[in-house]
């Protein structure tokens, strides 16, 4: 039986988002000053959101004011804050492995909020993906910090809720407008925390400006437009499993650009991550093409 080519195209476009997110680590460490996680997160979200808001020229209305800020907090503000806390207190491998629990949380929340059945193969794919990420990024000397682990789990739960609620609260606007609302709201929520909890950002260099521009325009505006578009067309659990591509791309970039080694264990983890993503998509993929509804017969009215 043939698969739906449109579904495959939507899947490929959505997968591009976490693949690009995999470049965040190398861009942050190479182009941005260290020690300003909340400020960088705010600069990543707010200017990109305001730019998109200027393009769409449409503000939220009615209940969507509250929903835009809830989703902005879940998908950006709280998630990015917890992500940075986890990254600072845990070795990168441990933080990535803890965060890899997100697809399993999405499966549970999809059943609770969307009535989606829990497929055993999807759960197996999620567990395999976590194991693959662990093999890919963990080192024997990796340590555990309770606060870092708690922050990593909180971030995974936040993004999982954001993923499912984005699908449940299907907005009556375009994905571009919906992305603009969430990025702007998430960036605005980060402003007071960045202002009061971190020192002032030093005068940015050309490299700093280039890094922030990349993270904002490509790593936020463009990628989240693809991500939210995918969530409007694909099962949330299938979209969430694509997140495994982020640590995979980060590891490959470290190998290609920074000359880091790639051990046989990491190669095995890479293969396991790819197999997990394939199994998850195979579980959710429609078996037959979706045919558009037939157009109604034209009605001839008397002149």
Q: Which of 12, 10, 9, 16 is nearest to 219 (CA)?
A: 16
In a domain, 23, yes or no: yes
pLDDT score for 260: 66
Q: What is the pLDDT of residue 77?
A: 93
CB–CB of 87/95 below 8 Å?
Answer: yes
Q: Is residue 2 scored above 60 in pLDDT?
A: no
Nearest C-alpha neighbor of 219 from the set 25, 82, 81: 25
**pLDDT of res. 164:** 93
pLDDT of residue 93: 57
149-153 mean pLDDT: 85
Q: Is residue 262 part of a domain?
A: yes
159-186 residue pLDDT tens = 999 999 998 998 889 999 999 999 999 9
State the residue range of the domain holding 194. Answer: 5-284
- The vertex-141 CA angle with 22 and 253, nearest 5°, equals 20
**Domain-located, residue 102:** yes
Q: Quote the CA–CA distance of 132 and 83 in Å, as a whole number.
A: 20
pLDDT digits (tens, 9 = 90+) for 115-143: 888 888 888 888 888 888 888 777 666 56
Q: Which two tokens stand for residue 56?
A: 């769409």
Which tens digits make up the pLDDT trace of 24-81?
Answer: 878 887 888 878 888 988 999 999 999 999 999 999 999 999 999 999 999 999 988 8
298 domain-assigned? no
**Which of the residue ranges 21-25, 196-200, 293-297 would you say has the lowest mean pLDDT?**
293-297
In a domain, 300, yes or no: no
Q: Chain-centre distance of CA 144, in angstroms?
A: 24
* pTM of the model as a whole: 0.82
Contact predicate 247/95, CB 8 Å: no
The mean pLDDT value for 272-293 works out to: 70
In a domain, 205, yes or no: yes
**302: in domain:** no
| Number of domains within the chain | 1
Residue 64 in any domain: the answer is: yes
The DSSP output letter for 242 is: G
């Amino acid at each position: 039986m043939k698969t739906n080519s449109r579904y495959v195209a939507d899947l490929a476009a959505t997968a591009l988002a976490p693949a690009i997110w995999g470049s965040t680590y190398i861009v942050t460490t190479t182009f941005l000053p260290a020690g300003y996680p909340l400020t960088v997160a705010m600069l990543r979200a707010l200017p990109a959101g305001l730019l998109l808001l200027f393009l769409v020229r449409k503000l939220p209305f009615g209940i969507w004011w509250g929903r835009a800020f809830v989703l902005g907090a879940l998908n950006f503000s709280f998630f990015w804050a917890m992500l940075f806390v986890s990254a600072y207190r845990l070795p990168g491998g441990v933080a990535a492995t803890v965060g890899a629990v997100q697809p399993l949380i999405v499966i549970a929340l999809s059943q609770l909020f969307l009535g989606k059945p829990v497929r055993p193969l999807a759960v197996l794919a999620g567990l395999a993906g976590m194991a693959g990420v662990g093999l890919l990024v963990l080192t024997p000397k990796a340590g555990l910090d309770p606060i870092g682990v708690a922050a990593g789990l909180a971030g995974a739960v936040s993004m999982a809720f954001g993923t499912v609620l984005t699908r449940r609260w299907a907005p009556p606007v375009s994905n571009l407008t919906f992305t603009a609302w969430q990025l702007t709201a998430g960036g605005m929520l980060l402003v007071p925390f960045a202002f009061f909890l971190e020192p002032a950002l030093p005068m940015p260099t050309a490299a700093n400006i280039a890094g922030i521009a990349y993270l904002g325009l490509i790593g936020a505006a463009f990628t989240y437009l693809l991500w939210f578009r995918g969530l409007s067309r694909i099962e949330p659990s299938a979209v969430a499993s694509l997140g495994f591509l982020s640590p995979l791309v980060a590891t490959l970039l470290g190998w290609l650009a920074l000359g880091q080694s790639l051990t046989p264990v990491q190669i095995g983890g890479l293969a396991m991550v790819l197999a997990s993503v394939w199994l998850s998509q195979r579980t959710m993929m429609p078996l037959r093409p979706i045919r558009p509804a037939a157009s109604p017969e034209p009605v001839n009215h008397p002149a």
